[in-house]
Structure 1
Amino acid sequence: MKTVVISPEIATYGAMLIGGVVRDAGHEVRLSTALAAGDAGAVLLSLYSTQHLMDPAVKAFVASVREEGKRCYVGGPVSAYPEYVLGELAPDAVVVGEGEETVTRLLEDGVSPDLPGIAYLDAGGRTVLTPPAPPAPVRHRSMPLIPPTIGQQSVRGANVYIETHRGCTGACTFCQVPRFFGREIRSRDLDEVRAEARAFKEMGVSRVSVSGGTGSLYGYDGTTINNDAVIALLEVLAEEFGPKNVSAPDIRVDALTDEVLEAIKKYTIGWLFFGFESGSDSVLRQMGKGVTVEQMHEAVAWSRQHGLKVAGCFIVGYPTETPEDYEATKAFVEEEMLDDVFISVAEPIPKTPLADLVLRTPHEENPVYVPHAGEYHSLHLTEAEARWFDLSMHADMYKPLLHVVTDEVFNVYLTEARKQGEDVRRVTGLIEKYDGA
C-alpha cells in the first residue's frame, strides 16, 4: 500500500524518521509538508503542535481522507493526549508515543486491541488505549527519509535538527519532552549520527542543529556530563558541515563544563541558547526548573569567559507570575544584555503540570485573560500579551548591538503578542473541554 507521511508546513525530523522506518519495512512511502494524500492509500499525519488539533484545514483533511476510504493515522508529539486527537480529528487511530515499533504493524495489520501503542474509538465511540509500546531503539535505527527540498527549509536558521539522543533529566512543568521520552538519556551511536549527517548533506542540507533536548546531555550516564562524547559529537558535525553551520541550542545552565563550552566555541556558530524562562526564583521554583537566578547569572558569565554569544528564552504570563516576578525578568534581561532573546506566552501543553495549574486558575486570575490596565491599556492587550510586547522591546534596548524599535517593529511585536495570547487561550479552551470537568 502506498503511504504518505505528512508533517504540515515543516519537514520535521520525526516525520522523516518514521518515513525511513516505513521505507525499510518494504513499503512505498513519500514525505510531504502539504495536506494532500494523492494516490496514497494510507496517511501518517505527524503533528508537532497542539494548534494543529484546532486547525480547520487539518480537520477537513482528515475527514476527506476517511471519506475516500483511505486510512488516516495520527502521531507526533500530540499523541501524548490521544483522547484530544480522537475527539478533534477522528482519525482511524493515534500512534501513541514513540512510533517506530508500532507504525509498520499498524499499516500491515490495521487497528487491533492487541497492537501496543495505539488509541482508537470503538464501535460505541469509546476511547480504547492499548498498552504502551516498548521504547524505540535509539542507538541503531533506520536512516530518515529525507525530502529533496530539505536544503530550502529553515527552522530557527537550520535546515534540520538532527536527533542525537532522547530524554531529559529536567522536570519543567511546561515541557513535554521528559513525559514523552522519559528522563533517562538514550544516546545514539556516533557513527550513525555521522552517516546520517552525510546523508543530509548529500540531499542539500548546509546547516544543522543538535536536537534531543539539552545538547550537552549526549552520552550522559546518569551521573556526570560526558565531555568526551559531547566534544566528539560536535566535532563530527563540524567535519561534515563546517563549524559555522552547526548550532547546539537549548543548554541547561546546570549542564555546563569548561570542556563543553570550549567545544561549542570551536565546533559551532559560537552561540549558547539557555532556557532561562524567568528572572524570578519564585517562578523558577513553580516551573520546576531546578535552577536559580544566581546560577543563570553564573552561566552567562561563564559562557562569555569562553567568548560565546548568549541567547535566552523566556516565558511570560505564567499563571502565578506577579508584576514583581515580571519586573525581575526585565531586570535580568537588562543586567545581562543578552545577544538575543526569544519570548513565549506560557502555553499549557495538555497533560503537563502547567496544564493542570491552568485548569485550577480562574480566568479572572490568569494573566492570559486579565485585561492589561497599565501603560499599554489603549492597545487592548491582556496582561500576558502586554508582558510579551513590553519584554520584546525592553530586550532590544539592552542587546549589545543597537536595535531601534521602529513603527514596523512595533507593529510586528504587537501582532505577535496578540497571536500568542489567542493561541494560548485556544489551547486552554481545548484543555477545559477534555479535562476541565
Structure 2
Amino acid sequence: MGELSTRRLRTDEQGDFFDVFAAAFLDDSLEAAREVCSSTFRAELAHGVFDGDELIGCAGRFDQEITVPGPAQCPLAAVTAVGVKPGHRRRGVLTALMRAQLDALHDGGVPVAALYASEAGIYGRFGYGLASFESHLAVPRGAAFLSTVDVDGRPVREVGRERAVEVVRARYPAVAETRTGWLSRSDGSWEARVLDWPNAHGGHSAPRFAVHPDGYAIYRPKRKWTARGPAHELHVAELVAATPQAYAALWRYLLDVDLVSEVHWRKAALDEPVLGMLANPRAADRRVVDGLWVRLINLDRALMARRYSAPADVVLDVTDRFCPWNQGRWRLRTDAAGSAATVTRTEETGHLSLDVTDLAAAYLGGSTLAGLARSGRVVEHEPGALVTASRAFATDCAPHCQEGF
C-alpha cells in the first residue's frame, strides 16, 4: 500500500467515483444509478482519496438550498456517496475526506452541510448532529378518517410522467419554502433521486402520479398476490400539498386504491398530519428513525440564516474539535420578534456550554436544547439561559426531508 493523497476529482474520474461508491456499499444495484445520476452529479464537487493512482475513497455533494426555521432559505452542501473501498479501511481515509470537504466548504463560505448516515455512530466525530427524524408509516387500505377531517372535494387524477413533472415543478417550490428541511430543486437532480432511482431489490413498479389542483403524490406500487387475493402495497415517494384539505384528499385517494392492502411511506415526518386524521389512531404502524444529520460549517452564518421562535440574548460556549474556526464563545442576539439575529464572537462568560454537534441537532428544531441538557449534553451556567435559548430554537413543526440524496 502506497502513500495516501487527497484532492478534488476531475470530470473524467466520475466513473471511478461510482465504482468506489458501489464497492463501498456492497451493492451491485448501485451500478444502475450510474446512468441515472450522470447528468446531474458533478465530479468536480467531489473529493477522493488515492492510494497511488487508485481511488479508494470518495465524498460527493450537491449544492442546493434548504428551508430553515423562519421559514428562510439557506445554502446547503447536500453531502452524498461517502464511502471507502473494501480493503482500505482503518487507514484514516474517511477522516481525510471529511477534512478536505469541510475545509473546502468553509473556504467557500457555505453555512451548513447535511447528509444521511449509513451508520449512526460515524459522523458525530466530524461535527454532524442528528437534526431530524423520519417515520416509517404503514396505513391499511380503507382506514377511516375522523368525521371532522376536511377533505377537498375536487378530484385526484392519475397523469403520465410528462404532465406530472410539470405539476411538480409548479407546485413544489411554494410548499418547500414553508417546510423546514425541504430542499430546493434548481439543478434537476431531484428527478434522478425521486423519479428515476432504480429499485432493483424492492420489486416496485415504475412511479405513478396522483395529481390534485393543490398538490400531488408520487408512489410506486408493489404487487403482491396471496391465496386470499391481491394484497398490493403502495409505496409513497413524495406527497406535497399546499393546503390541509388537499393533503387529506391525496391520502384518501391513496388509501382507497383497489387491490391494495397497505400504503407505506418510509420518509414521512415525525408529526405527519395523517396520524391525527385517523379515526383509529392504532391503524397506522409507525417506526421512528434518524433523518438528516446536519453540520454547521460556518457557525455564525448558519445561526444568522434561520429565524427564532422567541427573543434571545445568550452566550454559547461552543466546542468544535474538527473545525476549530467555530470553537469559542459566541453571542446570539435576536430582535424582539426573533426574526433577525446577530452572531458575534465575545469574551463574555458563556451562558451555555455545548458541542457543535448539539447545536446542529437543535438547528432545525428537531431536538430541543432543554432535551439535550437533560441528556447531559448542554450545560447551563446562567440561570434561565437554557429555557430562553431552547424556546428560541424550537419550531412549531418537526423538520422533515422527504427526499434522499
Length-normalised TM-score, structure 2 = 0.28
More helix by share: 1
Q: Give the structure, 1 or 2, with the largest relative contact order (CA under 8 Å, sep 6 or more).
A: 2
Is the strand fraction higher in 1 or 2?
Answer: 2
TM-score, length of structure 1 as denominator length: 0.26
